[in-house]
């Protein structure tokens, strides 16, 4: 399971997706919606943040 976390005006956003592709898609959507500090943590504990540049 991949965890997606970030912050929006209401506070912390914490979601889960089954695949990395789905997690990346959701992370990019969150960034487009104004969330900040969005990151993905994979099942092995690796943290992904570099997808933020590709969101545009």
Residue 12: strand pairing partners: 7
Helix (H) or strand (E) holding 13: strand 11-17
- Asked whether 45 and 21 are in contact (CB, 8 A), the reply is no
Q: What is the pLDDT of residue 54?
A: 45
Tokens 């590709």 correspond to what residue?
Answer: 54
pTM: 0.82
d(C-alpha 11, C-alpha 24), whole Å? 20
Range of the domain at 33: 2-55
Q: What is the pLDDT of residue 49?
A: 87
Q: What is the pLDDT of residue 44?
A: 95
Q: What is the pLDDT of residue 36?
A: 93
d(C-alpha 10, C-alpha 56), whole Å? 23
* Count: domains in the chain: 1
Q: List pLDDT tens digits, range 2-53.
A: 999 999 988 999 999 999 999 999 999 999 999 999 999 999 999 988 765 4
Q: What is the pLDDT of residue 50?
A: 72
């Amino acid at each position: 399971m991949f965890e997606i976390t970030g912050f929006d005006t209401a506070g912390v956003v914490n979601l889960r997706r089954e695949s990395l592709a789905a997690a990346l898609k959701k992370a990019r959507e969150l960034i487009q919606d104004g969330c900040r500090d969005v990151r993905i943590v994979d099942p092995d504990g690796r943290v992904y943040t570099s997808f933020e540049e590709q969101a545009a």
